[in-house]
Amino acid sequence: MGNYFTFPDLLIWLPLLAGIFCFIVKEEKSARLTAVLFSMLILGVSIATLFFTNDTKYLNYNNVNYIWLKYIGANYYIGLDSTGRMLTLLTATAFPLILIATSKTSIKNAASYFGLIMLTQAGLMGVFMALDALTFYFFWELALIPVYFLSSKWGGENSIQATFKFFVYTFAGSLLMLIGILYVYLHTGTKGFEDGVIVNHSFSLVSFYNANLSVSDQNWLFVLFFIAFAIKMPIFPFHTWQPDTYDQSPTSVTMILSGVMVKMGLFGLLRWLMPVFPLGVAHFKNIVIILSITGVVYASFVAMMQDNIKKLIAYSSIAHIGLMCAAIFAMNQISVQGALIQMFNHGINIIGMWIVVEIIERQTGVKKISQLSGLASTAPMLTIFLVIIAFANIALPLTNAFTGEFLMFSGLYNYNKWFAAVAGLGIIISAVYTLNLIQKVFYGSTNAVAADVKDVSLNEKIVLIIIVGVIFFIGIYPQPLIDLTKDAVNNLLVRVK
Amino acid sequence: MNAIILTAIWGVVMMFSGVAFKNKSIPKYLAIIGLLIVIIANTTEFATGSPIIHINIHNMLKFEKYNLLFIDIAFLCTLIYFLLSGTDIEKVGPHVGEYFALIFFVLCGVSIVATFNTLLMFFIGIEILSIPLYILTGSEKRNLKSNEAALKYFLMGAFSTGIMLMGIAFIYGGNPNASFFIDKIQIGEGHMPVLIAVGLLFTLVSLSFKVSAAPFHFWTPDVYDGAPTVFTSFMSTIVKAAGFFAFIRLFEHSFGTMHDQWQKLIVIITISTLLIGNVTAVFQQSVKRMLAYSSIAQAGFMLLALFALNDKAKEGIMLYTAAYSLASIGLFGVLTKMEDFTIEGFNGLAKQQPMIAFAATICLLSLTGVPLTAGFQSKFFMLMAAVDNGHQFWLVIVAVMFAAISAYYYFRVIQAMYFKEPSQHDATIIHSVSFQFKFMLIVVAFLVVVIGIYPEIIIGWMYR
């Protein structure tokens, strides 16, 4: 290759090394510092990747391809393309924000905690960059294992059960996907190596795209893959692990789960499921959209009934993800574009929401809406931030989510106006529960619990200001995100249609 | 050839070592040295293709690279087992030399079942493999459970041997060549004489018994539970893998062309093995019993190789031998040191012994089949073989769903080690462990991860 470094290598190895380093130092302060510094370094690398775009002269900077298991045709092949670039950027942005925002939270065994968090980041980066099915599967599972330990060890009182449910769900889904991968693999063409060895099949993404699959094959393979991705996103009716896990996990892990990890499922749809099984997509797309929209409405109603703030946000997240999934399967230029942008925006917004919840929960020990009242008078700054983030969550104009949801809705409307109408119901309800949350928790007379809440501290202020800045910036000027993902949309639609 | 001769000789040496040396730990070192010699001799045979001593065996045994590779893997696992659990073998009873001698005789049986070319050698191999195990099971003479297990194992084993012999007689009489050679039994695609069918059924039953496949698994939990833990470790891993190797070798060479006829039987056995192994393991409170059932469950996965019977399956069984043996040996090694064999007994281990807990976790993840561990690669190759086979696709889906269930009982141990507190604050969870034990355990975990990342370290030899 001739390069001293490549971006995919840096994005995988930096978090991996940071994670291992955290395990070695064992001391809370230095582990925390390592994690924060490395995550900022990774953010820097990730921003740098934006300037080395798909131009062929940067090809070697953006791709890493080693022979891994020669005799079965599996390579360690990772590379950055536009969707991957956006999601690695989201991952790289999310981690420093999360780490800085929660830096006042005291943690037992902090070294292993931060080590596991950095390992999760390495796994996530790998998922978003993998261009070989086996590499993808490895990273897909590797992102899960550290999260399992994080949530069980540092979570709430029921965390062991909740997290285990999460683990078994995703593990079972992944295994189904593994069978699908194997079946597609066995229908791929031959692959030759430079030294003359020829293997019968190959795991590379390109050979998966060209696999020789009949219509009926594609249909049931679609189901196998879709279950794995649907559990991860999660799409109704595979969502039952999610509210408990979000509720019981430590908040920074919940942020990782809801901000970045759910994007793995959506990304899986875009990178693997839809291009590999275009005929399967054509066969199932209406069913998937109906499931997603059912999920949107259902989750919105459940969120409206919730008294637990964390569960409320969890259900609201199910609704948002459902809408993105529906928009992706509507498969027109506008809707897919909207979903891609929204993947980024949703990650930023929901992390903001969780930070606010974390501040409230850490100071009061309460996560029930009914027990909180009048925080606005004791914590005015926090209230302002929450209101802005909440407005972004319900996609008001001038906030980042508006662009994404607007595009998704108009695309969905073009596809089928009834679908758009029903999904629109979800947005209306989301306004109801979000405003209800603001009103109950922040306004009204201050009660005993809320009385001694201190306002946001400096580190939280910095993070929230950055988040609010991103919300407004993308809300006013979304063009950079659209430019970044435009060709991904085109490539996808060319393959699928 | 080297392996068979040397293990037999060294077995005799070990028998006398107990008498010759008063120091109890000398037999252990002798055994390790002997096994090293055997491995080196076998590897040279693997590399050069010719044994040290040429004996005309009239083609009754066949030493191909594939078979020799299996012997090497099995012996290397045994070496790790000696290094990890050698001191625990010394603690079982006063007759240390004999225990090692019996293990060497088992290894001799392993080398014969890996290389047999006639039904006669197959039978002799299986018997040499089994009989020392009956003794090892009952080696804790004062323990009633151990005695019961040995008797049960012996009676059931003797019975299944009888059935096997009967089956061999049918196969011999039923094939038109009247031949004992395994390659000369089948007579053409899809053709299956009645006598051979009966013989096949009998050998299938008895071999299912040997590898503890359901519904012939009933001896397994009692015997594995009753036997001293160090020997359970050996029995349930290397010996079982050798049984599978013989199973596949016999059925591939003798009945390969009739695969369509007996494949459905294997499907039934596989499903019931997976079902019984996994579902019963979920309800176990004792980790030792749980591992016994888990070994049945893993046997269900190994049966997929017999179901598929293609090149990928051969690679798969090789990987499975290494992956399953290493992880189980590591876990049983930890288990022998535990104060309390129940799952609660593992509570809080990670705080007292973080390294041991970490290595045990790697082993458990490997048994579950999580990527980056050897267990994933072995399951991956098995599934690939089964999907490639093209028939009965649903079996593969059933198998992976049971793999997801298996996460339940393996993770209970992980949960106990990491997320739970010991019942009493200063309770001894684990006996004092030597540095060597810890080091070997880390080596086991390291090997599990290395095979998980790069399985061609094992199967790559098959292509060269």
pLDDT digits (tens, 9 = 90+) for A154-169: 887 888 888 888 898 8
Question: What does the block give as tokens for B171?
Answer: 């196969």
Which residue has 């005993």 as its token pair?
A: A448
Nearest to A117 by CA among A240, A218, A254, A227: A254
CA proximity to B460, closest of B322, B347, B349, B360: B322
Q: Are B186 and B259 in contact (CB under 8 A)?
A: no
Residue B35 binned pLDDT confidence (cut-offs 50, 70, 90)? very high
Which ipTM was obtained for this model?
Answer: 0.90
Report how far Cα A455 is from the mean position of its chain's Cα atoms. Answer: 29
How many other C-beta atoms can be found within 10 angstroms of the C-beta atom of residue A428?
10
Q: Which residues contact B406 (CB under 8 A, 6 or more apart)?
A: B278, B281, B294, B297, B367, B368, B369
Q: What residues of A are in contact with residue B392 (Cβ under 8 Å)?
A: none
Provide the pLDDT confidence category of residue A55 given band limits of 50, 70 and 90: low
Contacts (Cβ under 8 Å, ≥6 apart) of A238? A169, A173, A227, A230, A231
Contact B225, B149 (CB under 8 A): yes
Residue from A134, A159, A167, A179 whose CB has the most chain B CBs within 10 Å, to mutate: A179
The 10s digit of each residue's pLDDT in B38-74 is: 999 999 998 888 888 888 888 889 888 889 999 999 9
pLDDT value of residue B58: 86
* Domain boundaries along the sequence of chain A: 319-497
User: pLDDT at residue A176 above 60?
Assistant: yes
pLDDT at A11 over 70: yes
Task: Say if residues A213 and A221 touch (Cβ distance below 8 Å).
Answer: yes
The answer to whether the CB atoms of A72 and B384 lie below 8 A apart is: yes
Span A407-428, pLDDT tens digits: 898 998 988 888 888 888 888 8
- CA of B463: which chain A residue's CA is closest? A71
What is the rounded distance in angstroms from the CA atom of residue B339 to the CA atom of residue B347? Answer: 11
Shortest Cα–Cα distance, B416 to chain A (Å)? 10
How many domains, in total, are found in chain B? 1
Å from A171 to nearest chain B CA?
A: 6
Is the Cβ–Cβ distance between A274 and A492 less than 8 Å? yes
Angle between helical axes of B393-419 and B287-308 (0-180°, round to 10): 160
Give dist(CA B157, CA B130) in Å, integer.
Answer: 8
- The average confidence (pLDDT) of chain A is 86
pLDDT of residue A1: 45
- In chain A, residues with a C-beta closer than 8 Å to the C-beta of B404 are 168, 171-172, 175
Does residue A449 register a pLDDT over 70? yes
State whether B400 and A178 contact (CB < 8 Å): yes
Given a contact cutoff of 8 angstroms between Cβ atoms, the answer to whether A140 and A174 are in contact is yes
Confidence of residue B273 (pLDDT cuts 50, 70, 90): very high
HSE, CB side, 13 Å, CA atoms: give it for residue B249: 31
Q: Which pLDDT band holds residue A226 (cuts at 50, 70, 90)?
A: very high
CB-CB: which of A69, A142, A179 is closest to B387? Answer: A179
Q: Spell out which residues of chain A touch residue B365, defining contact as CB-CB under 8 Å.
A: 145
Facing residue for B370 by CB, picked from A71, A141, A152: A141
pLDDT at A104 over 90: no
SS (H, E, C) chain B: CHHHHHHHHHHHHHHHHHHHCCCCCHHHHHHHHHHHHHHHHHHHHHHHCCCCCCCCCCCCECCCHHHHHHHHHHHHHHHHHHHHHHHHHHHHCCCHHHHHHHHHHHHHHHHHHHHECEHHHHHHHHHHHHHHHHHHHCCCCCCHHHHHHHHHHHHHHHHHHHHHHHHHHHHHHHCCCCCCEHHHCCCCCCCCCHHHHHHHHHHHHHHHHHCCCCCCCCHHHHHHHHCCHHHHHHHHHHHHHHHHHHHHHHHHHHHHHHHHHHHHHHHHHHHHHHHHHHHHHHCCCEHHHHHHHHHHHHHHHHHHHHHHCCHHHHHHHHHHHHHHHHHHHHHHHHHHHECCCEHHHHCCHHHHCHHHHHHHHHHHHHHHCCCCCHHHHHHHHHHHHHHHHCCCHHHHHHHHHHHHHHHHHHHHHHHHHHHCCCCCCCCCCECCCCHHHHHHHHHHHHHHHHHHHCCHHHHHHHCC
Residue A2 has pLDDT above 60, yes or no: no
Q: Which of B156, B161, B163 is CA-nearest to residue B199? A: B163
Tokens of B241: 């893998």
Q: Which domain covers residue B168, as residue numbers?
A: 2-462
Q: Which residues in chain A have Cβ-Cβ distances shorter than 8 Å to B407?
A: 167-168, 171
Closest CB to A142: pick one of B372, B383, B460: B372
Task: Write out the residues of chain B at the interface with chain A, using a CB-CB cutoff of 8 A.
Answer: 365, 368-372, 380, 383-384, 387-388, 396-397, 400-401, 403-404, 407-408, 411, 415, 418-419, 454-456, 459-460, 463
Q: Name residue, tokens 């019984």.
A: B276
Q: Do residue A145 and residue B459 have CB atoms under 8 angstroms apart?
A: no
Show Cβ contacts of residue B405 under 8 Å, excluding neighbours closer than 6 positions.
B278, B279, B282
Give me the pLDDT at residue A54, please.
Answer: 62
Compute CA A427 distance to the chain's CA centroid, rounded to the nearest angstrom: 20
What's chain B's average pLDDT? 89
Confirm if B212 and B292 have CB atoms less than 8 A apart: no
- The token pair at A54 is 């798909």
Alpha-carbon span B200 to B168, nearest angstrom: 8
Q: Is the pLDDT of residue A196 over 80?
A: no
pLDDT of residue B457: 87
Hey, are the CB atoms on B456 and A70 less than 8 Å from each other? yes
Q: Is the dihedral of CA A328, A334, A340, A346 positive or negative?
A: negative
| Cβ distance of B401 and A145 shorter than 8 Å | no
d(CA A150, CA A248): 11
Backbone angles phi, psi at A228, to 5 degrees: -60, -45
Q: How far apart are the CA of A176 and the nearest CA of chain B, in angstroms? A: 7
Average pLDDT over residues B222-226: 91
A191-192 and A198-199 beta bridge pairing: antiparallel
Distance CA B348, CA B336 (A): 17
- According to the model, what pLDDT value does residue A10 have? 86
Residue in chain A lying closest to B420 (CA): A153
Q: Do B404 and A152 touch (CB under 8 A)?
A: no
Helix axes A479-496, A82-101, angle to 10 degrees: 130
What's the Cα-to-Cα distance from B40 to each of A357, B52, B64, rounded to whole Å?
Answer: 64, 12, 17
C-alpha–C-alpha distance, residues A127 and A120, integer Å: 11
Going by their DSSP bridges, the two strands A191-192 and A74-79 should be labelled as unpaired
Return the minimum-mean-pLDDT range out of A74-78, A451-455, B207-211, B242-246. Answer: A451-455
- CA of B365, closest CA in chain A: separation in Å? 10
Give dist(CA B378, CA B316) in Å, integer.
6
The gap from C-alpha B119 to its chain's centroid, in whole angstroms, comes to 21
Q: What is the pLDDT of residues A229-267, one digit of tens each?
A: 999 888 888 888 888 888 888 888 888 988 898 889 999
Q: Residue B451: pLDDT above 90?
A: yes
Question: Inter-chain contact B383–A178, Cβ cutoff 8 Å?
Answer: yes
Asked if B397's CB is within 8 angstroms of A176's CB, the reply is yes
Give the closest of B401, B419, B455 to A160, CB-based. Answer: B419
Q: How far is B32 from chain A (nearest CA, A)?
A: 33
**Cβ–Cβ below 8 Å for B415 and A160:** yes
Q: Which residue of A has its CA nearest to B414?
A: A149
CA distance B278 to B284: 10
Distance from C-alpha of B361 to C-alpha of B377, rounded to nearest angstrom? 17
Do residues A166 and A239 touch, judged by C-beta distance below 8 A? no
How large is the average pLDDT for residues A15-43? 88
Interaxial angle between packed helices A144-154 and A133-142, expressed in degrees from 0 to 180 and rounded to the nearest 10: 10
With CB atoms and an 8 Å threshold, state whether A138 touches B456: no
Q: Per-residue pLDDT tens for B77-122? A: 999 999 999 888 888 888 888 899 999 999 999 999 999 999 999 9
The dihedral built from the CA positions of residue B151, B156, B160 and B163, taken in this order, carries a sign that is positive
Closest listed residue to residue A323, CA positions, set A293, A344, A303: A293
Asked if B371 and A160 come within 8 Å (Cβ–Cβ), the reply is no
pLDDT tens sequence across B285-337: 999 999 999 999 999 999 999 998 888 888 899 999 999 999 999 999 999 88
The answer to whether A69 and A148 have CB atoms below 8 angstroms apart is no
Mean pLDDT of A91-114: 85
- Residues with Cβ within 8 Å of B433's Cβ and at least 6 positions away in sequence, in order, are B337, B353, B356
**Dist. CA A494–CA A497, nearest whole Å:** 6
Q: Band of the pLDDT at A3, cuts 50, 70, 90?
A: low
Q: What is the pLDDT of residue B426?
A: 67
